[in-house]
Chain A
Amino acid sequence: MGNSPPVFKQILSELGYDVVVPPPPSRRTLDLGTKYAPEFACIPFKILLGSYLEAIDLGADTIISTGGVGPCRAGYYGELHRGILHDLGHDVDLIIIEPPLKRPADFLRAMYLLFRERKAPLWKLPDIFWRAWLKLNAIDCVEKASHDIRTFEIDKGETTTVFRQCMEILDAAQSKIEIKEATDASLELLSAIPQDRSRDPIKIGLIGEIYVVLEPLANHNVQVKLEEMGVLVHRSIYLAEWTQNNALTNREYDVKKAAEPFLSELVGGHGRNSIGETVLYAQKGFDGVIQLAPFACIPEIVAKSILPYVSRKLNIPVMTLFLDEQTGEGGIRTRLEAFVDLLVQRKKKKEGQLACVGI
């Protein structure tokens, strides 16, 4: 998912596994997944299935994934992936890590399977996980910095090139000190990019389902596209932050509270968050919100059917992009350009710069 694979690779290889990292999801991955997945499964399911098949081709015999308790479908994907892979005749072990409090027996079983063959001694585990956590945070921090800069870059595309270098630097970092140094070096590289800070960009909030928000293949790199159009984009979800807010503590209280007047029930996935984040973006004076969602994602459809009302009430334009394996680059780009155009006109009108409106 996004830039996180190196972190999981590090954890597992330090536990003593031979890690197979499938190539970053590509068109081929998606095609492979689409071929064997149920038609109306969402795009994350298809990309994951494709990645599993690619990893199996590279020799993987064990796959680690996460479970869940619904009502979003993703919590059941592991089970179904296992069924499909076995049906295809692949003899792989699928270790599904279930939430420890809701399904303790399954969680402990997964932990047993996971640590059965570990080579690292027990006392090293906290250190392994702590460094992985630091690295995840470092990646998020560098990525955030790149998003702050790309909108203002003078040479189009430079930030993306530099960011790729930064990821390589971070990937090589192992110890705590190395991670710290790599982060500093990356941030320095990024801030050296020539920028034009006199621009006054419009601001768009990016919301939606976590997987398609984080995975560039699924969303056709919407955030970078927008930034290269000169828009300042704030993304609502970063992996480390999300893990901290959801799995470890429960700090999304403000988002839930903001959603309360419009949707009081938990509908699974990021449905309620999408509503709450739209409300917060409206309050913070953003010019617009883009909702990214996998096609046929139930929680996001629920959100989508409520968002027009939120949008009217709080006077903030919202555009929804439903994504699947059929979604084309061109269609996405056109819709983004049209949306940005609309927001620019609205902003000018608000500031009184537009002499004649409605021609």
Chain B
Amino acid sequence: MSKQRIGIPRSLFFYSYMPFWQTFWSELGCEAVVSPLTNKNMLDQGISHSVTDLCVPVKIFHGHISYLISQKVDALFIPRMVGVGTNDTFCPKFLALPEMIRCSFSSLPPIIAPRIDVRGPLGWFKLCSDLQREWVPERNVWGAFTKARAAQAHYEAQLTGGKLPHEAWPTFRWFHSVEQSKPLARTPELRIAMLGYPYSVYDQFTNGDVLQKLRNLGVQVLTAEMIPLGKRSRHRLRKDLFWHYSNMVVQAGIFWLNQGVAGLIHVTNFACGPDAMAGKLLELACKQQGKPLLTLTLDEQTGQVGINTRIEAFVDMLQRRILGAHNLPLHG
């Protein structure tokens, strides 16, 4: 029997849990087909398959799915992300993702849609063994599970060590594409925290590669993933937000503000529901500490030039503040 080909979209949950699932399916003897970096064609495909009012990451997700369908994969992996052991859930769009995909495409390969609401290693193991029993019954789950966990731990260690996801991927055995980022142009003098959901911060296509742009300007970019969970969760709010990634963003924002960064960049998506709350909380936090905040709102209409100008202006302003010539108002 030929290898089962399982399509994994490089979108949404990908940036947080990729090493785990990639390793898990490969170790079970399947071929994990990961869609390439987002491109214009995928965006267009995504837009044509989804309803108008969806946010751009979910539209892009539709695009990745449509790419994987064109690759004739045997099954699509679309986990229903509910909870990962914290007391919060994912955005409602994550909760209904398998159904939304099912209703948007007329013909689809089988969908592997486990409901991921787990606590601790035992929960993950149970989830994995259920998946294995249903989809690859002839294999043993234990090896795949331990290797997947090791891969995930290795990945998270690299992120907290200061690497960005696409810099951490080449260290994995399964990685073959060229996604190397260029080295820094000069020694960083400015530290800016770039906050947002992993699928907005790390998707170079949608955000116009802000990360690289900032580095070229000589900025050290700090993200939420670089903070170990234990340290981050010390900055909890009086009442937590309901969404996993939003809590991450707000806590990380407060963490980096306390670490004395020069300013915050909040990368968000047009009409993002949770971000309307998270953004305001960041704004209030920045105001309290007298630190500038730049909100980059992205959607399918966003042009590269507009992003560049705003980034450059922001960095410029921060540099002037550091030089002491900062009789500038907080909001530009």
Contact = CB atoms under 8 A, between A and B. Distances in A.
Given A262-B103, A296-B276, A309-B103, A87 B287 contact: yes
B275 interface: yes
A267 B280 contact: no
Nearest to A87: B284
A272 to B, nearest CB: 9
B279 interface: yes
Contact of A83 (B103, B241, B242, B281): B281
17 contacts: A70-B88, A71-B91, A73-B277, A75-B242, A79-B239, A264-B99, A265-B96, A265-B99, A267-B95, A268-B92, A295-B53, A296-B272, A298-B91, A302-B92, A302-B96, A302-B100, A306-B96
Contacts of B229: none
B322 interface: no
Chain A interface residue bracket vs B: 35 or more
A75 B272 CA distance: 16
A262 B274 CA distance: 24
Interface string A303-328: 01110110000000000001000000
Contacts of B102: 309
Interface in B120-134: none
B273 A73 contact: yes
B153 interface: no
A40 B272 contact: yes
Interface of A: 38-42, 67, 69-73, 75-76, 79-80, 83-84, 87, 106, 262-269, 271, 295-299, 301-302, 304-306, 308-309, 322
Given A304-B53, A306-B99, 6 more contacts: A71-B242, A79-B237, A268-B95, A296-B271, A305-B54, A309-B102
Contacts of B241: 70, 76
Contact of A305 (B51, B115, B274): B51
B103 A308 contact: yes
Contacts of B279: 38, 40
A15 to B, nearest CB: 25
B238 interface: yes
Contacts of A72: 92
Contact of B92 (A79, A299, A309): A299
B253 to A, nearest CB: 14
Contacts of A264: 99
A56 B273 CA distance: 27
A267 B96 contact: yes
B274 A73 contact: yes
User: Which 7 A-B residue pairs are closest in the complex by CB-CB distance?
Assistant: A70-B242, A309-B103, A40-B276, A298-B273, A267-B92, A296-B271, A38-B276
Which of A40, A67, A76 has the most CB atoms of chain B within a 10 A radius of its CB?
Answer: A40
A66 B58 CA distance: 30
